[in-house]
Amino acid sequence: MKFSYGISDFHELITQDYFYIDRSDRIPLIEEAGVHLLFLRPRRFGKTLLLSMLKNYYDIAKAGEFTQLFGNLNIGKNPTDLHNRFFVLKWDFSAVSSTGEPKEIQQALYRYVNGSIEDFALYYKNLLPIKIKIYPEDALASFQSLLLAVRQTSHKLYLLIDEYDNFANEVMMGSRKISQSRYKALVYGEGCLKSLFKVVKSATEGQGLTRSFITGVSPVVMSDITSGHNIAESIYLKPQFNDLCGFLETEIDHTLKSIVEKCGMSSDELAQALNMMKKYYNGYRFGHKSIGFIYNPTLAIYFMKSFQSDCEYPEEMLDENMAMDRGKITYISRLPQGGQVIVDALNDKKPLSLHRLSRRFGVEDMMNAVKDDVFMISLLYYFGVLTFGGRTKGGKHILKIPNLVVKRLYLERLSEILLPETNRNEASGIVENFYGTGDMKPVCDFIEQHCLKIYDNRDYRWANELTIKTIFLVLLFNDIFYITESENELERHYADMTMIVRPDMREYRLLDFLIEFKYVELAANELTGKMISQMTYEKLTALKPVKKKIAESKKMLEKYRRSLNSKHKEILNLRTFCVVAVGFDRLVWKEIK
């Protein structure tokens, strides 16, 4: 198989026989959904390829290639009446520079639009009866000239806009004071972006533009230009479009089987590879009524291309091209109470929830309004680092972290908060030693000295074993060596934290870990921070509430250990620990054998 990492040109994928998951059967659904559509998905989720597929399907100039491009796809067997019936104009706003003052950004936008219109004129020169005029200083006039030329034919215009909010978001995410003024200059009043969308809207009123499909990451920009473009129907939450971009598990399984056969691997190794991809890349559900989860397509291809090439997994499960998404988490964490939301997202026992997703908020909300949980949770959903995960007993929508590769981004941000750079080298050495020896004492000592006080001072709303577990996750998470999970289901119960060595890392001197966390509240046990800080470790361990927590953990850990060994066919070199936090001052640990 030829995997198409980084290639978003549908024509090239099909004609060069690259790997392609067919989504052409959704074209009738898209046509039925409306004529002017807005479809949101996180970055690097296949939106550009989707638009490229639509462009090739509807392009009048590609009529002679229809059988070659679509003959082997679902839509080729039963095409709609609209195939190859349109002039197609495509704008990709990720190509527009966001640097400089508002006037410079406007010039960059207009240069880009003019350039795309010039390309359009050249591409369709044999089908247009009149020449399109390009106005170097006025791209809106150039667009009007394009519409005039289209109206001289019997065909209409289909406008595709990719990453409609990209360069505006780049401006907005910059320096607060500067970016706010620049962004307002783009979308408020007669701002260039708003003016462009006003012209697009007017073009739908008998001027030749009859269909449009717009993609982006969030509804923020659309909210701000509503008066300029209030005709787009949102389809990104509709269940029939959940997997419009993204791969299904059956498709992943089918592809992995081919790779495993080529590599001469066993059925057990196939199951291991599928489990790896499921843990790290699956878990996205973009509509609360959608059935099933989908895989991130960019990460899936990144994995499968490496797997096929080397017959082994990529060492880094997080493709570095996706790592910039951590900046979105950083943005949220710096908002008032944003750090708490980041921590709460890691709480599997009490997940984030809301009654409804915010679908209308503009830059004023992002810059100036009080950032409540609904706002921040919604934004994390649009960024692709939270996804729908069912409902609470009270009927609220649960928003959860989709997979381990995204969880890593959260933990990296918390690491920056919890661990000053000067302490990270020390932490790294302690953790590496723990992986190979299971020496828990240095880990607990480090957390006592460097993490607990920082955590305690941050006004978190809960303080219990979940807090302690989060600190351990931050410190111990390593997706090169381990599949690390919290609340791993074992025998109808949930283990606090498991660290199972990746199948491809079993040849190295690495231990597997099962850890249970408990919390002893000081006031409820007539203890104070000063009292326990003066106790020896032995006296602390002998405290009645501590001994009780250890005893409770031991029973569960023995069951979990049997279950894990059975699940992994006793290949584990498993070390089992109970860690008890006494307030936010001391840690007691015990290995359960």
- Residue 408, in any domain of the structure: no
Quote the CA–CA distance of 282 and 291 in Å, as a whole number. 14
- Residue 357, in any domain of the structure: no
Q: For every one of its 593 residues, what pLDDT tens digit does the chain have, with 9 covering 90 and above?
A: 899 888 899 999 999 999 999 999 999 999 999 999 999 999 889 999 999 999 999 999 999 999 999 999 999 999 999 999 999 999 999 998 877 888 888 899 999 999 999 999 999 999 999 999 999 999 999 999 999 999 999 999 999 999 998 877 776 666 555 566 777 777 777 788 889 999 999 999 999 999 999 999 988 778 777 666 688 899 999 999 999 999 999 999 999 999 999 999 999 999 999 999 999 999 999 999 998 999 999 999 999 999 999 999 999 998 887 776 778 888 888 877 788 889 899 988 888 999 999 877 666 666 555 567 888 899 899 999 999 999 999 999 999 999 999 999 999 998 888 887 768 888 999 999 999 999 999 999 999 988 887 654 444 444 567 888 999 999 999 999 999 998 888 767 788 999 999 999 999 999 999 999 999 988 888 988 889 989 999 999 999 999 999 999 999 999 999 999 888 887 899 999 999 999 888 999 999 98
As to burial, measured by CB atoms within 10 angstroms (0-12 exposed, 13-18 middle, 19+ buried), residue 260 is: buried
Domain range for 92: 22-217
Quote the CA–CA distance of 41 and 45 in Å, as a whole number. 7
**Number of domains, the chain:** 3
- Residue 354, in any domain of the structure: no
The letter for the amino acid at 289 is K
SS3 track for 269-309: HHHHHHHHHHHHHCCECCCCCCCCCEECHHHHHHHHHHHHH
Joined together, the tokens standing for residue 461 give 């709303």
The letter for the amino acid at 212 is S
Predicted pLDDT of residue 364:
63
Quote the CA–CA distance of 560 and 575 in Å, as a whole number. 12
Predicted pLDDT of residue 172:
62
Residues 211 and 267 in one domain: no
Residues 177 and 255 in one domain: no
Residues 86 and 173 in one domain: yes
User: What residues contact 204, with CB distance under 8 A and at least 6 apart?
Assistant: 36, 210, 212, 231
Predicted pLDDT of residue 459:
42
- Give 285's strand partners: none
Residues 204 and 311 in one domain: no
User: What residues contact 530, with CB distance under 8 A and at least 6 apart?
Assistant: none
- Residue 412, in any domain of the structure: no
Joined together, the tokens standing for residue 379 give 């934004």
Q: Are 24 and 77 spatial neighbours (Cβ–Cβ below 8 Å)?
A: no
Sign of CA dihedral 192, 194, 196, 198: negative
pTM (two decimals): 0.90
Q: Are 171 and 182 spatial neighbours (Cβ–Cβ below 8 Å)?
A: yes
Q: Are 284 and 402 spatial neighbours (Cβ–Cβ below 8 Å)?
A: yes
Question: DSSP letter at 232?
Answer: P
- Residue 179, in any domain of the structure: yes
